[in-house]
Amino acid sequence: MGKLWALKKSIWVFHLCTGSCNNCDIEILDCLTPKFDLERFGILLVGSIRHADVILVTGAVTRKCLPRMKLIWEQMPQPKLVVAIGSCALSSGIFSPGYNIVGPVDKHIPVHAYVPGCPPKPEAIIDGVVKLVGSLE
Amino acid sequence: MSSPDPIEAIKAEFEDRIVSWEEKSPKRYYITMPREDITKVADFIFAKQGARFIIASGVDTPEAIEILYHFAFDKLNKILTVKVPVPKERCEIESIAPIIDGANWIEREIAELLGVNFLNHPNPKRLLLAEDWPEGKYPLRQEPRRNR
């Protein structure tokens, strides 16, 4: 067994919304509930960042959320992976000229997987997570 | 028992102070009032006529900042909007939060985004903007545009 077998077999995710319209959050919820059911693979949504392997970030990063996002990322135990979901997390989307938006997620924390879409379909989110896990081999 | 129409009662009460009265549709009324009367108007509409306060909106126009207070008469299926223009030089208006509790947060929001000073507001703290946003910069104020 390699060092990362726990990470590959049963990923515990934490969901962070940095100021989005919440559509991406609803699609993440769809992934975890019985229709697309990622929980059968052991992917569990946890309540504390200190229990998480992967953090799913949605939303264009607002000025108010930026210090909190950085604090949460620093509290995450290694090995940590970040997945940016939705076009707002990738590039601020349509909100990029806003007065309150301080840039996409990868300007502040390193991102390992990008899932574009507005919002991305649950199939796309699952595809992104599968590719991320596959790249850990 | 026939109760008098609340909209007619408001019109009768403030007849000499109303600047303009518009009935856009049978369900939608707009009245424009000067800003000195806002507490009397809010008290009359809310307390005496029993309307429900929906929300307030703020609009930045070239002449003034307009604050619109929306009230609903649910049983009659009508919405009444009180429009109050506030000049930008002395950007103050009396707060209606002491009369209507529901106006507390929306007045804080208008104050920090459009720069209107609500006098006698019970809790004039910042609501939405980030803690390190500079004072005096009002994000929703428009730059003067050429082809207006």
Q: What DSSP state is assigned to residue B35?
A: G
Give the distance from residue B116's alpha carbon to the nearest chain A alpha carbon, in angstroms.
Answer: 19
Please report whether residue B128 resides in a domain: no
**Are the CB atoms for B17 and B37 separated by under 8 Å?**
yes
Look up the pTM and report it.
0.81
Give the distance from residue B74's alpha carbon to the nearest chain A alpha carbon, in angstroms.
Answer: 30
Chain B environment of A62 (Cβ under 8 Å): 130
Q: Which of B109, B114, B127, B129 to mutate to test the interface with A (most CBs of A within 10 A)?
A: B129
Angle between helices A23-32 and A122-134 (to 10 degrees): 70
Stretch B4-21: mean pLDDT: 82
Number of domain units in chain B: 1
Instruction: Report d(CA A73, CA A77) in Å as an integer.
Output: 9
Please report whether residue B110 resides in a domain: yes
Which helix (H) or strand (E) is A58 found in, with range? strand A54-58
CB distance B130–A99 less than 8 Å?
A: no
Residues comprising chain A, all counted? 137
Per residue in B24-63, pLDDT (tens digit) is 898 899 999 998 888 888 888 887 777 899 999 999 988 8
CB distance A100–B131 less than 8 Å?
A: no
Q: What DSSP state is assigned to residue B40?
A: H
CATH number at residue B13: 3.30.460.80
Query: Residue B35's domain spans which residues?
Result: 6-119
List the 111-140 stretch of B: residues with Cβ below 8 A of A.
Answer: 129-133, 139
Chain B environment of A100 (Cβ under 8 Å): 129-130, 139
CB distance A63–B139 less than 8 Å?
A: no
Which helix (H) or strand (E) is B32 found in, with range? strand B28-32
CB distance B131–A62 less than 8 Å?
A: no
B44: its two tokens: 């009359």
For the complex shown, is ipTM > 0.85? no
Please report whether residue B127 resides in a domain: no
Which helix (H) or strand (E) is A23 found in, with range? helix A23-32
Whole-Å CA distances, B89 to A19, A87, B4: 34, 41, 40
Write down all domains in chain A, each with its CATH number in brackets. 10-134 (3.40.50.12280)
With a pLDDT cut of 90, the percent of chain B lying above it is 36
Burial class (CB in 10 A: 0-12, 13-18, 19+), B87: exposed
